[in-house]
Each structure stands twice: as C-alpha cells, then as structure tokens.
Amino acid sequence: MGAPSRKNIRAEVFEALGNNPNCEYSYEQLEAFFSQTSGADKTTSKRRTSAFDMWKKLSKEEKEDLKWSEYKTTYPEKAAEFQAQADEHNKLHFEDKPQKSSTKKNNNDELKKEIAKLKKTNKTDDSPKSSPAAPAAPAEDEPEVPAPAEDEPEVPAPAEDDFDKIDVNNDGVISRDEFESYVKEKEEKKDENDENGKNESGGEAESGGEIESGGEEVNESNEEEGEEEEEEEEEEEDEDDNSNKPVFKKKITNMNQYKEWKKNELGIEADKSIPGPDFKEYKTEDNFTPDDYDESKPWFEYIQKNMIVQ
C-alpha cells in the first residue's frame, strides 16, 4: 500500500486536534486557517465533497468510535443528511465549473462531427457532376475541320451471326484455321454469284433466238405439258415438306452436324446457339470427336436430311 497523501495526513491531524478537549479550535476552524496559508492552493484538492467528508467533521464523541461504513449503516438518516450537505456544497462551488472529463468528451464529439462534415463535403466535390460541361470555343487561329460530306458511304455494321459463322466449334475463340476457312468460303460464294450472273446474261441472249423459232417448238411443248405438270406436282410436294424444315446457311462440317443434331435433341431452335460451357459438356457426354464420323452416329448427315441448305 502506498504512502498516505498530504491531505489525508492533514485531515487526521486536524481531526485529532479538534477532538482534543484542550484544543480551543474545531476541525472546521483549523481547515479555515490552513486555507489562508500559502501552501493551501498546492495541497488542497478541488474535488467535489462527499457525505464521508461531512462525517469527518464530527467530533470523536459524535462518531461514537464507529467507522464510516458502520456509522452510515447504524444511522442512515444522518448519512442522508451528510449527503444533502455535500450536494449543496458542490452545487455552490462547482455549478459553473463542468468537469474536465465531460468537457474533453464534448470537445471530442464536436471534433468528430466536424471531420465527418469535411469528409462528406470532399466526396460531394469529387463526385462527377450530372450536367455536361460546355464545349470549349475553338481558338480563332485554329482552322475549322470540314464536316464529312453527306454522300460518303457508311461502313456497314457486321451481321449478328458473323461470329457464330466463323467460330465453327463454338468455343468462344476464333482460331486461324476457322478464319481462313470462313474467308475462303466467302470467296467461293462470290465466284459462284459472278458465274450465275454471267449465265443469266447468256440465257437472255439465247431466249431471243428461241422466240424466233418458237413456232416450230409449239407442237413439242404441247407434248411435254403432261410431263411438266407431273414434275410440278412433285416439286410442290417437296416444297411442302421443306417449308417446315429450318434453313442452314453455314459450312457443313462434322462439328456442325453434331451441333444441329444436339440442338434438336434439346429442343433449341435452329437459329439459337448452345452456350460454350454447356456445349463442351454435351460433347463429353456424347463422346463426340470431329474425326469419328460415320453412319453409326445419330448426327450423321443430319443437316442434309433435316434442314434446307443454302
């Protein structure tokens, strides 16, 4: 246990002197005399008074040789009076002097509020403004850029299914082989269209000669009418069958044979695609490999048998 404080020592000395019948001064008078000395400011505590402090002012006879814990249990009413006296004393001496701890706490709360306001203001300043900034005026010495002519051709947007046409294995990545085969296929189609245009122009020239000799072929055409009617009926039946078939415009490969067959098995429309991760799982389940392709596979020549190839 540490050494007693100077205040406690002084209180015990003054209390002993006040209780001595030979001493003409009481405890309160001794405290009053000491408060007028030069050392009073250094030793006197400015803490609040308690009921215990009021009880210490009693004489030894009044305390009946009881400790404070025993006294307030034996005389609770007097202990309450001491507490009322202490409250009155504190009210007079500490009414306009708030405790330092509470003042410090209030200052900290106010400081936190100010910091929160500053953070909120900084976020508001850093956030992008909704209104667009006005365009800067061009410098007088800068030449004006001429607007594009209205008759300039616009670059056509790529078709939605171009990627699917190039990505034959539907793995989400276009390889060099897939790209080269796609370019080759487009060139072949272009060559076919050019040849068809030449054939049509030649057919028109031949039709002029047929008109001149049309009279000689009238009899032959009458004989062939019956055969043509039969052929037309057969073609109409074929058209009725093909009207319900989906159209296939891509390159016919073993991968596409399997893909179109799998979409039909899953109930997916022909113009839709199977997601890449799902397609890989289906290939594993069906043991599909591009090189293993024969009549034993259910997707063998599926496109030719069930779709219209264009």
pLDDT for residue 255: 92
Q: What is the spatial distance between Cα 232 and Cα 241, in angstroms, rounded to a whole number?
A: 14
Q: What Rg value do the Cα atoms of the chain yield, rounded? A: 55
Residue pointed to by tokens 């594009």: 148
pLDDT at 25 over 80: yes
pLDDT at 141 over 60: no
Confidence of residue 229 (pLDDT cuts 50, 70, 90): confident
pLDDT at 256 over 90: yes
Question: What are the tokens at 82?
Answer: 């001491």
> Taking the model in full, what pTM does it have?
0.27
Q: What is the spatial distance between Cα 82 and Cα 53, in angstroms, rounded to a whole number?
A: 8
Non-local CB neighbours of 198 within 8 Å, separated by 6+ positions: none
pLDDT at 157 over 60: no
CA distances from 63 to 52, 56, 58, 85 (A): 12, 9, 6, 17
Q: What is the spatial distance between Cα 175 and Cα 166, in angstroms, rounded to a whole number?
A: 9
Confidence of residue 21 (pLDDT cuts 50, 70, 90): confident
Burial of residue 10 (number of CB atoms within 10 Å: 0-12, 13-18, 19+): middle
What value does the mean pLDDT take over residues 6-16?
84
pLDDT for residue 129: 52
CA distances from 115 to 99, 104, 109, 127 (A): 25, 16, 10, 19
The number of C-alpha atoms within 13 Å of 113 and in the hemisphere containing its C-beta is 6
pLDDT at 252 over 80: yes
Q: What is the spatial distance between Cα 54 and Cα 52, in angstroms, rounded to a whole number?
A: 5
pLDDT for residue 262: 92
pLDDT at 204 over 80: no
pLDDT at 39 over 70: no
Query: Tell me: the pLDDT tens digits for 116-132?
Result: 888 888 766 655 555 55
Q: What is the spatial distance between Cα 140 and Cα 64, in angstroms, rounded to a whole number?
A: 106
Confidence of residue 208 (pLDDT cuts 50, 70, 90): low
Q: What is the spatial distance between Cα 18 and Cα 139, in angstroms, rounded to a whole number?
A: 99
pLDDT at 143 over 60: no
What value does the mean pLDDT take over residues 142-155?
55
pLDDT at 214 over 60: no
Confidence of residue 300 (pLDDT cuts 50, 70, 90): very high
Helix (H, G, I), strand (E, B) or coil at 308: strand
Helix (H, G, I), strand (E, B) or coil at 118: helix
φ, ψ dihedrals at 309, nearest 5° = -85, 125
pLDDT at 302 over 90: yes
pLDDT for residue 47: 74
pLDDT, averaged across the chain: 76
More confident: 266 or 225: 266
Q: What is the spatial distance between Cα 229 and Cα 235, in angstroms, rounded to a whole number?
A: 10
- Centre a 10 Å sphere on the Cβ of residue 175 and count the other Cβ atoms it contains: 13
What value does the mean pLDDT take over residues 89-103?
65
More confident: 279 or 14: 279
pLDDT for residue 31: 84
Confidence of residue 201 (pLDDT cuts 50, 70, 90): low
